[in-house]
Amino acid sequence: MIEYYAHSLDDKPEKYWQKLDVHLKEVAELAEKIAKAACPYDKSFAELARLTGLLHDLGKYRMEFQEYLRKERQGGVETVHAVYGTGKALFEHNSLAAAFAISGHHAGLYDAADLDLLVNGKKYQVRDRLADILNRASEKITLLKFKEICSDSDTPETRCRYEVMIRTLFSLLIDADRLNTEEWEKKQIFDRQWKRKVVLIESNILLEKLQRECIKKSTDAKNAELKKLRNGIYEACLNKGENSPQGFFSLTVPTGGGKTLSSMAFALTHARQHNLRRVIVVIPYLSIIEQNAKEYREIFGKKNVLEHHSSVDVSRSDEDPAQSQEIEKAMENWDVPIVVTTSVQFIETLFSASPAQARKLHNIARSVVIFDEVQTVPTHLLEPLLDILRELKNRYSVSFVFCSATQPAFKKSNNLKNGFVDDEIIEIAPNPDILYQSLQRIKYTVERVDSPWTWQDLAQKMIKHNQVLCILNLRRHAYELMVAMRRDLEERNIRNLDENVFHLSSAMCPAHRLDRIEIIKKAA
């Protein structure tokens, strides 16, 4: 009997290669397990995930692909394999969802027209070749008889539901496939059993750590009134997190109200109450992400917090190689208790056709997502975003918290047809209007300017104040103003300029920027 393989190792003989039937069975089992974790109340989704895993590499039963593994031919049209599992999913199982997931697990999601051309066009001769492939596969694996039952209803809601299901199936297939291959490779290369580390959320333990930090901050607080207000917000978050059903929430707290820790208190309590798997904090600005992630790591420990955005460079961190590798793996699928990421990263995960971006989507299921500074979400993305958030809430047990000092116009209107109706979103904060009055910290005045100021003019005006912050549009302007201020202070024989004048911009590396912020905080 001919042995068929899924993966080879360049420097190892065939007895060390991964057998194809083993790979298909194990990916099917893992995909089913992931589907049950993401959507535990939908048995048919788990069955569909198992089918998708079993068929994803079916085309590797072609002799042309086996010759490719043995380096007996070059890669090309004849060695493409995903198309044949796609064909079986469509022709014999009536599953468009499985077809989309299988066809895209290397190349990325196809659109409907390209998918049709892929399986029905002449290039791959899928219908003609499928019988021979299935004959070879049936010697090793038992092919399922599952058939997908599609809804006859064609409404915006059912289309969105099907799209999210396809994307989630696509995501979990990619993760199951990559994890199984990685586990096999590690075992062969290091000649030992290897299992990925999964850090499960322990809400009670994390809440205890958070409570200790809040008590410490409360003890250190000098303003009794501010301390009382923050404690009230924190207690309201704990209460709402424990006693509210899953859904949409808003936390309308002015700057200074302590929403960073209070929103986390809600999320952890809510996760404990509803048996959720993780907390995902979505923030628009890198400067805020770096500060919040640092604070969360100090409270909860490094192993519990993943910071994921474009500026994170694990290779240049001070972590040991093994820890750096764990962080890189966590970035691929977000399998950690607390994720701190950007709006861009989160939204791309929801809508991307890329396997790398979509891989972590299934781990958004059964989580609490905190949208911080939510008013920054681009208006042209609101309609599709709200559609997919509703589907994640309704079918995948995701609760959303929208945090902001100024809540955005997410309500239903002529410009936002699918916006929230009045009773769809629950406010967590006690009496937001009173909070705003109590936490009023800034008074705005507009100074009349009759002629343009030079940087020197602005520097001289700033020097008159004991503490002053100047926000400019461009990074080079911030630098030019700093130079002007230092020059002016030097002329006045003021020393220790590094302790008195600070420049902050995205031109600085994250670690440098965080160091400067810490110095500023201590000096304040």
CA 234 from chain centre, in angstroms, equals 25
To the nearest whole number, what is the mean pLDDT of the chain? 89
Q: Which DSSP symbol is given to 109?
A: P
Question: Can you say whether the dihedral through the CA atoms of 193, 199, 204, 205 is positive or negative?
Answer: positive
194: amino acid identity, one letter:
W
Rounded distance, CA 98 to CA 370, Å? 31
Q: Which two tokens stand for residue 107?
A: 């190349």
For residue 367, give the H/E element and its range: strand 367-371
**Is the per-residue pLDDT at 151 higher than 70?**
no
Which residues in the chain are classed under CATH 3.40.50.300? 203-438
The tokens for 394 are: 């309704």
CATH node for 203-438:
3.40.50.300
Specify whether the CB–CB gap between 313 and 511 falls below 8 A: no
Please check the confidence at residue 232 and state whether its pLDDT lies above 60.
yes
The string of pLDDT tens digits covering residues 489-519 is 888 877 777 778 888 888 888 778 888 888 8
pLDDT at residue number 141: 83
Q: Where in the chain is the domain with CATH 1.10.3210?
A: 5-190
Fold of 5-190: Hypothetical protein af1432 (1.10.3210)
Which pLDDT tens digit goes with each residue over 236-288? 999 999 999 999 999 988 877 888 999 999 999 999 999 999 999 999 988 78
133 contacts 58 by C-beta, under 8 angstroms: yes
Non-local CB neighbours of 403 within 8 Å, separated by 6+ positions: 250, 251, 253, 259, 263, 370, 371, 372, 373, 374
Query: In the prediction, which pLDDT does 464 show?
Result: 87
* Amino acid identity, position 459: A
Q: Are strands 278-283 and 338-342 parallel, antiparallel or unpaired?
A: parallel
Its pTM stands at 0.87
CA distance 192 to 187: 5
Q: How far is CA 360 from the centre of its chain?
A: 7
Tell me the pLDDT band of 194, cut-offs 50, 70 and 90: very low
38-89 tens-digit pLDDT: 999 999 999 999 999 999 999 999 999 999 999 999 999 999 999 999 999 9
Q: Are strands 367-371 and 278-283 parallel, antiparallel or unpaired?
A: parallel
